[in-house]
Amino acid sequence: MEITSKKENNTMIVSVQGRIDAVTAPAYENGMKEFLEKESLFILDFEKLEYISSAGLRVILATAKSLKAKSGKMVMANVTGTVREVFDISGFGAIFTMYDSIEAALAGME
């Protein structure tokens, strides 16, 4: 798993490549904790996310709860294929706002 980030329009765009599973979820969670210390608006770009397990869903939910506590906001972009199916089946598709592109997500953050 690889995490990259960039800031655009006061929003941190976090791109995840590879897999978020039981092995990589702790690294994802630690990376997000660092971002949460400084930022409160996030777009999670899952265009290159190939797989997510229940451990991955748990850390995403934990991130969302931490953000809510500090009046932050998190949306997702480019959630497709198998990853989208996992979100829909688990009910996470109804919990999180998802956009088809980074541009649409940025517009939705305003």
| Terminal CA-CA length for the chain | 30
pLDDT digits 0-9 by tens, 42-78:
999 999 999 999 999 999 999 999 999 999 999 999 9
How high is the pLDDT of residue 3?
96
Query: How many domains in the chain?
Result: 1
How high is the pLDDT of residue 1?
94
Ramachandran category for residue 81: left, alpha or beta (phi over 0 → left; psi -120 to 50 → alpha): left
pLDDT at 86 > cutoff 90? yes
Give me the amino acid identity at 41.
Answer: L
How high is the pLDDT of residue 110?
80
Q: Which domain holds residue 21?
A: 2-108
pLDDT at 100 > cutoff 90? yes
